[in-house]
């Protein structure tokens, strides 16, 4: 039965190491050493102390320990949102690996707002976490680079390892571990898959300038067209804003409203966009894959539900790798660059193209 120490005014307060020391009849140093387990100690003393710990229900104070120079057992992660499946899966990987190493996770969300991201990092500097993992797509303009580089150096000075996850390096002189996945290769494979089925008019849905992830995927799309000797029509690249289902619906619907259909296949920049576009096509009586072929990107839950052929990203592996590398590096401020592979997952959303090279109708 744990008994709580009563302070002067009768309110219970958590037991401290001093209480344990008094209870066990030893000094605080002895208690500390026995609990840390890294110093020689006599079995008799040890059992006395452990009993006191149990009886008083003592847990060490993380703040005091942190102050005393022990790096806190925590990993910080900054994501756009925790309900966006990609971020959630990366976060899951981070949590798994962190839990395995006995670490807690400190999570900050940004809603895609750069200022909120920087504010979160600032708060995390105060926490002195072992690692600060920034995940996801970003618009890396010059001002951002400047500020983030400063934060990177500040984190290194505070002893925290910065990790960029699915985001390009900040520059050669900025200390950070970078864990990326192969966007361009995945987009190349997806586009090639459609091209091999005979499609030549492939709509790219969700282009977005300035953001690294969409740009890499567009690059893969174009490279595949070039490799197959299919002419590139910029008119087939549709710009999108947010990477959500509704936006996919909007893009496809507006496209179909604006002009006759001039494509036989769609490469959606991610599965959510694909799901939205699919809905807009269905409203027009167009079915997948009979009338229109489609490939997505991400291989997240909606893909399986709608039988979508898509590109698999090792979401959780990204998170796990980020934590592993960060905890491995002794000296914060390490630099490293890892690229994880992607691959295509074939389901039932692509049919051979039997129509005209320039499209149906």
Partner DNA sequence: AGCACATGTTGAACCGTTTACACAGGGCGC
Partner DNA sequence: GCGCCCTGTGTAAACGGTTCAACATGTGCT
- Site residues for its own copies per CB under 8 A: 2, 4, 11-14, 57, 59-67, 72-74, 81-83, 85, 88-89, 91-92, 95-96, 99, 104-109, 116, 120, 122-128, 150, 153-154, 156-158, 275, 301-302, 305-306
- Omega cis (within 30) before 131: no
Give the separation between CA 165 and CA 149, rounded to whole angstroms. Answer: 16
State the Rg of the chain over Cα.
27
Question: In this complex, which beta carbon is closest to its own copies, that of residue 282 or of residue 343?
Answer: 282
Is the Cβ–Cβ distance between 218 and 173 less than 8 Å? no
Q: Is 122 one of the binding residues for DNA (CB under 7 A)?
A: no
CA 166 to chain centre: 7
Exposure string for 227-238, b = 16+ CB within 10 A, e = fewer: eeebeebeebbb
- CA distances in angstroms from 102 to 96, 130, 231, 296, 327, listed in the order given: 10, 12, 54, 36, 12
Give the separation between CA 312 and CA 94, rounded to whole angstroms. Answer: 18
Q: Which does 88 bind (CB under 5 to 8 A by kind): its own copies, DNA, none?
A: its own copies
Question: In this complex, which beta carbon is closest to its own copies, that of residue 63 or of residue 259?
Answer: 63
Q: Is 156 one of the binding residues for DNA (CB under 7 A)?
A: no
Encoded tokens for 14: 């958590």
Q: Which does 96 bind (CB under 5 to 8 A by kind): its own copies, DNA, none?
A: its own copies
Q: Which does 45 bind (CB under 5 to 8 A by kind): its own copies, DNA, none?
A: DNA
Q: Which does 344 bind (CB under 5 to 8 A by kind): its own copies, DNA, none?
A: none
Residue 284: burial class (beta carbons within 10 Å; 0-12, 13-18, 19+)? middle
Encoded tokens for 51: 């009993």
Backbone angles phi, psi at 231, to 5 degrees: -60, 145
Q: How many residues does the chain have?
A: 361
Least Å from the CB of residue 334 to its own copies? 15
Question: In this complex, which beta carbon is closest to its own copies, that of residue 61 or of residue 196?
Answer: 61
Residue 16: burial class (beta carbons within 10 Å; 0-12, 13-18, 19+)? middle
Encoded tokens for 320: 């796990």
Question: In this complex, which beta carbon is closest to DNA, that of residue 56 or of residue 91?
Answer: 56
Q: Which does 269 bind (CB under 5 to 8 A by kind): its own copies, DNA, none?
A: none
H-run or E-run covering 233: none
Give the separation between CA 322 and CA 98, rounded to whole angstroms. Answer: 10
Least Å from the CB of residue 258 to its own copies? 26
| In the block, residue with structure tokens 């500040």 | 154
Sites for DNA among residues 11-70 (CB under 7 A): 13, 16-18, 26-30, 32-33, 35-36, 38-42, 44-45, 58, 60-61, 64-65, 67-70
Sites for DNA among residues 66-105 (CB under 7 A): 67-70
Least Å from the CB of residue 32 to its own copies? 15
Question: In this complex, which beta carbon is closest to DNA, that of residue 18 or of residue 282?
Answer: 18
Which of these, 281, 292, 295, 288, lies nearest to 355 by C-alpha position? 292
Question: In this complex, which beta carbon is closest to DNA, that of residue 60 or of residue 112?
Answer: 60
Question: In this complex, which beta carbon is closest to DNA, that of residue 54 or of residue 337?
Answer: 54
Least Å from the CB of residue 188 to its own copies? 28
Q: Which does 357 bind (CB under 5 to 8 A by kind): its own copies, DNA, none?
A: none
Q: Which does 72 bind (CB under 5 to 8 A by kind): DNA, its own copies, none?
A: its own copies
Backbone angles phi, psi at 336, to 5 degrees: -160, 155
Question: In this complex, which beta carbon is closest to its own copies, that of residue 54 or of residue 228?
Answer: 54
Residues of this chain that interact with DNA (CB under 7 A) are 13, 16-18, 26-30, 32-33, 35-36, 38-42, 44-45, 58, 60-61, 64-65, 67-70
């Amino acid at each position: 039965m744990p008994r709580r120490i009563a302070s002067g005014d009768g309110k219970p307060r958590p037991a401290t190491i001093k209480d344990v020391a008094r209870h066990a009849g030893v000094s605080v140093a002895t208690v500390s050493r026995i609990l840390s387990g890294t110093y020689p100690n006599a079995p008799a003393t040890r059992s006395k102390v452990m009993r006191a710990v149990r009886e008083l229900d003592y847990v060490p104070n993380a703040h005091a320990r942190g102050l005393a120079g022990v790096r806190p057992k925590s990993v910080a992660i900054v994501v756009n949102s925790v309900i966006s499946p990609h971020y959630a899966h990366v976060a899951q990987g981070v949590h798994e690996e962190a839990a395995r190493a006995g670490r807690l996770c400190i999570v900050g969300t940004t809603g895609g707002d750069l200022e909120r991201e920087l504010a979160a990092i600032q708060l995390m500097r105060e926490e002195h976490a072992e690692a600060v993992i920034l995940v996801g797509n970003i618009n890396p303009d010059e001002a951002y680079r400047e500020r983030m580089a400063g934060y990177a150096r500040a984190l290194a000075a505070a002893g925290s390892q910065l990790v960029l996850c699915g985001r390009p390096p900040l520059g050669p002189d900025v200390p950070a571990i970078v864990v990326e996945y192969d966007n361009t290769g995945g987009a190349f494979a997806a586009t090639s898959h459609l091209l091999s089925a005979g499609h030549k008019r492939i709509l790219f849905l969700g282009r977005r300038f300035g953001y690294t992830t969409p740009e890499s995927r567009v690059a893969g799309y174009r490279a595949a067209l070039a490799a197959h000797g299919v002419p590139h029509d910029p008119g087939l690249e549709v710009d999108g804003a947010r990477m959500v289902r509704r936006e996919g619906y909007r893009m496809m619907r507006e496209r179909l409203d604006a002009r006759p259909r001039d494509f036989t296949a769609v490469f959606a920049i991610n599965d959510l966009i694909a799901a939205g576009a699919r809905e807009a096509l269905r409203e027009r009586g167009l079915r997948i894959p009979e009338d229109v072929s489609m490939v997505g990107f991400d291989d997240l839950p909606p893909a399986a539900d709608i039988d979508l052929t898509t590109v698999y990203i090792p979401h959780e592996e990204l998170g796990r790798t980020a934590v592993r590398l960060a905890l491995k590096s002794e000296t914060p401020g390490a630099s490293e660059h890892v690229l994880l592979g992607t691959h295509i997952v074939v389901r039932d959303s692509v049919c051979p193209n039997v129509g005209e090279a320039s499209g149906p109708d």
